């Protein structure tokens, strides 16, 4: 069986983020399970030049527009506004991405199954479908397109309502999107039920810990601690991920942390995104807070290993992998009630340490309680070990391999 993995979700011609990491792992891991894989998309930290990869040059109209806007110092204003994002996604659907000779390449490899990882992939796949023969096309629901949004103009869903074709409203856009695919991989049971309204061929595969290099050298870790200005007795609260206040809600974490009077407590925020300047401004004056920006893939294990407590303050998530990664490296978890889905709650229940994401005062008290209560710390450390074992990379990749083989042989999951 031949499987093509598509990922054109990258900005500026570089694929990045959780969906791209999944794409990269599928590209390499499925091979060891008897499946021949190909990749079409932007270069990334996970996939480089190789004979089975068709790497796009990133010459999209969007990239050119962004460069012009940056020169005019308008990019931030437009990217932060709904009107600007509507214009961006509308242009995306009209111009697509420059694909060069991708069509002839696809005609040669003749994939049996195609995996899409983002809403933007749908735009490209519409154009490529004539070259795909009878390939089954599936979508992994990373973008939570089936989620509960108050309107078609919600900031988090504009890519679906304005990036998939002529504006028709949220519900019609969902139907147009999900019915295009031969199957959907949901990341949790809530998505499973929601997607079933539009496409009956759905299966559930949970996220996992996908960091390739898990080894942590003690000397190198000590050097990183010194580089970040942290002493041996300092305790570290970590957030790692995209910096987008509309979803990730890191501002609440910063406010909660600043309310804690403890010079030995440090807040480490690792990641990049359009809200970084906001978080820099919010953190100003508190030298206990460090915002690093994006770090290299091979350094993620070290940043996770610094953490005593990992906080995920998101307003919504489909199935976030960062808390699984933090758990793997031994951090206790403090999770927003909106960041965890019913699958996780059903499995671990009241043992989870959670807070209401809009309640900064509760978040502050939960952080303080964790560091004051040795019994709680011990319980949460033990829980992290269980979570890391439950959502293992092997289990996730085995599930993908089994689902793809069943789809190829029977036409359904």
Looking at the fold, whether 228 and 195 belong to one and the same domain comes out as no
Residue-level pLDDT at 165: 82
Phi, psi of 298 (to 5 degrees): -75, -5
* CA distances to 98, 234, 240, 371 from 263, in Å: 52, 8, 22, 13
126, two tokens: 């519409």
Instruction: Give me the tens of pLDDT residue by residue for the chain, a chain 413 residues long.
Output: 999 999 887 654 454 667 888 898 999 999 999 999 999 988 877 887 788 998 876 544 445 555 555 555 555 555 556 677 677 677 665 555 566 678 889 999 999 999 999 888 888 888 899 999 999 999 999 888 998 888 888 877 888 888 788 888 999 999 999 999 999 999 999 999 999 999 999 999 998 988 876 789 999 999 999 999 999 999 999 999 999 998 999 999 999 999 999 999 999 999 998 899 999 999 999 999 999 999 988 899 999 999 999 999 999 888 888 999 999 999 999 999 999 988 999 999 999 999 999 999 999 999 999 999 999 999 999 999 999 999 989 999 999 999 999 999 999 99
Whole-number pLDDT of residue 291: 97
In the Cβ-directed half-sphere of 369, how many Cα atoms lie within 13 Å? 13
Residue 264 and residue 178 share a domain: no
Q: Looking at the domain assignment, is residue 133 inside a domain? A: yes
In a domain, 353, yes or no: yes
Q: What does the pLDDT read at residue 132? A: 93
Residue 192 is assigned to a structural domain of this protein: yes
Cα distance between residue 411 and residue 413, in whole Å:
7
- For residues 11 and 107, membership in a common domain is answered with yes
pLDDT for position 71: 55
Do 144 and 263 lie in a common domain?
Answer: no
Per-residue pLDDT at 96: 53
Q: Residue 300 and residue 321: Cα distance in Å, rounded?
A: 13
What confidence score (pLDDT) does residue 101 get? Answer: 79
Task: Answer yes or no: do 77 and 141 share one domain.
Answer: yes
What local confidence, expressed as pLDDT, does residue 19 receive? Answer: 82
Q: Are residues 259 and 184 in the same domain?
A: no
Same domain membership, residue 162 and residue 16 = yes
Give domain status of residue 66, yes or no: yes
**Rounded distance, CA 392 to CA 385, Å?**
11
* Relative orientation angle of helices 61-71 and 82-95, to the nearest 10 degrees: 140
Q: Based on the domain organization, do 155 and 240 belong to the same domain?
A: no
Hey, what are 183's tokens?
Answer: 């199957």
The CATH number of the domain holding residue 9 is: 3.40.50.2000
User: Domain limits at 259?
Assistant: 218-390
Same domain (yes/no): 234, 280: yes
213 occurs within a structural domain: no
Cα angle value 413/394/110 (rounded, 5°): 50
Give the count of domains, the chain. 2
Q: Please report whether residue 12 resides in a domain.
A: yes
User: Do 236 and 335 belong together in one domain?
Assistant: yes
Residue 367 covered by a domain: yes
Is 225 in the same domain as 260?
yes
* 305 shares a domain with 197: no
CA dist., res. 156 & res. 160, Å (int): 9
């Amino acid at each position: 069986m031949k499987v093509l993995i598509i990922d054109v979700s990258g900005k500026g011609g570089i694929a990045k983020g959780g969906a791209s990491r999944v794409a990269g792992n599928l590209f390499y891991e499925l091979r060891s399970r008897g499946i021949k894989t190909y990749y079409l998309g932007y270069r990334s930290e996970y996939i480089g030049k190789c004979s089975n990869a068709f790497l796009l040059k990133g010459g999209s109209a969007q990239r050119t527009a962004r460069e012009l806007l940056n020169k005019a110092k308008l990019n931030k204003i437009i990217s932060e506004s709904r009107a600007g994002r509507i214009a961006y996604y509308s242009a995306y659907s009209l111009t697509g991405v420059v694909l060069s000779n991708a069509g002839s390449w696809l005609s040669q490899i003749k994939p049996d199954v195609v995996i899409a990882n983002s809403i933007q992939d749908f735009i490209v796949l519409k154009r490529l479908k004539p070259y795909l023969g009878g390939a089954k096309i599936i979508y992994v629901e990373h973008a939570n397109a089936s989620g509960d949004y108050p309107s078609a103009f919600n900031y988090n869903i504009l890519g679906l309502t304005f990036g998939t074709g002529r504006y028709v409203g949220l519900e019609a856009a969902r139907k147009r999107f999900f019915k295009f695919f031969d199957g959907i991989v949901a990341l949790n049971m809530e998505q499973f039920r929601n997607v079933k309204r539009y496409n009956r061929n759905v299966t559930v595969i949970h996220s996992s810990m996908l960091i390739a290099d898990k080894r942590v050298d003690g000397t190198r870790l000590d050097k990183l601690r010194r580089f970040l200005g942290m002493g041996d007795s300092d305790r570290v609260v970590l957030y790692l991920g995209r910096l987008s206040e509309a979803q990730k809600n890191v501002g609440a974490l910063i406010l909660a942390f600043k309310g804690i009077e403890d010079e030995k407590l440090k807040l480490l925020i690792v990641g990049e995104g359009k809200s970084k300047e906001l978080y820099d401004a919010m953190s100003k004056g508190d030298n206990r807070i460090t915002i690093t920006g994006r770090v290299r893939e091979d350094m993620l294990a070290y940043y996770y290993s610094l953490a005593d407590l990992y906080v995920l303050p998101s307003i919504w998530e489909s199935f976030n992998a960062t808390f699984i990664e933090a758990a793997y490296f031994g951090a206790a978890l403090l999770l927003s009630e909106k960041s965890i889905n019913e699958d996780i709650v059903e499995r671990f229940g009241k043992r989870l340490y959670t807070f209401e994401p809009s309640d900064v005062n509760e978040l502050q008290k939960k952080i303080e309680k964790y560091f004051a209560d040795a019994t709680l710390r011990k319980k949460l450390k033990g829980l992290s070990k269980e979570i890391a074992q439950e959502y293992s990379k092997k289990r996730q990749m085995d599930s993908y391999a089994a689902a793809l083989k069943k789809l190829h042989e029977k036409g359904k999951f």
